[in-house]
Amino acid sequence: MTAPAHSYPRVLIMAFQGWSDAGDATTEVLQHLGGMIEADVVHVISAEGYVDFQVHRPKITFDESGNRVLDWPDTRLYGPVERPGAEEDPSAEMVRRLDGSLVTDLFLLAGVEPARDWQNFADEIVELVDVWAIDTVVILGSMFSDAPHSRPIATTISTESAKRRAETGAVRSSYEGPAGISTVIDLALAEAGIAPISLWAQVPHYVHSTPSPKATLALLDKLEELLDIVIPRGELLTQATEWESNIDRIASSDEEMTRYIRKLEESRDDALAAEATGDAIALEFEKFLEDDETSRREQPQQPPADDDDTPPPAAG
């Protein structure tokens, strides 16, 4: 791997339209971040050979000269670009560190889930991570679930790296079943010696026809915690409130839907209550003891003390 030569860790956040983008939650995260960082396209993975153009058709647009051009569904890497002479606007809504300084080492990878040749596609991602000396990779995902819209959006963080799990509180995924391109890339990066973090949000399945700004907010909240950064929310808070209110209004006129949502709410509340039981507390205590034991083993060994505990005289 290329050794990083920068002061802050370089972070790559990636998401793909399709199977792992329920409620458009992950691609909305990238769009939101893209509008708040000084980044341009620094690399393109051509859609040719990977994408089914009958599913994701190219779009015809006009360029600055008025010429008709095709916009292909390529996968694009956005990275920071230095602009000599540019002055920072302290009032601008931009991604910042906890000390208020701008985040200038954030990369975004956006595209659609390929239809074929996934392994080669994943290999190209691994190469990009190496070439751009990325230190941390976060793979976003969102899935439809039996989740009530009226409760906080549940998120999960997982990684194959024990070190990353200790640092972030993530777990090792126990999922078995059909996989998407996100999982293929996750495993390819892990095999290459990189420790990606997967961050997923659960989106209510009964509102699958509309984007879910509440899920987007939940992912942004977790990204802030993971990366120790501050991300302005813009209009997302208002959009999330309106989204929830609209669903409430629709459900109020549908008795069957109301009963179903109430059942989901009770199930979620019971699950949250179970986390505070004695068993859960005991598991946390066991984890604390394990971490403490690990910490003590890593401490340097002190030389045995002399029988005489009297401290030596101070130097004159």
Reference 73, options 46, 107, 54, 49; nearest CA is 46
Name residue, tokens 């802030």.
224
pLDDT for the residue numbered 271: 84
pLDDT for the residue numbered 192: 95
Tokens of 259: 């009963």
Can you give the pLDDT of all 316 residues of the chain as single tens digits?
444 445 789 999 999 999 999 999 999 999 999 989 878 999 999 999 999 999 999 999 999 999 999 999 999 999 987 766 656 666 678 999 999 888 989 999 999 999 999 999 999 999 999 999 999 999 999 999 999 999 999 999 999 999 999 999 999 999 899 999 999 999 999 999 998 999 999 999 998 878 999 999 999 999 999 999 999 999 999 999 999 999 999 999 999 999 999 999 999 998 888 765 645 555 555 555 555 555 555 555 554 444 444 444 444 3
pLDDT for the residue numbered 305: 46
> Buried b / exposed e across 263-273, counting CB within 10 Å, b at 16+?
ebeeebeeeee
pLDDT for the residue numbered 100: 87
Tokens of 68: 């008709």
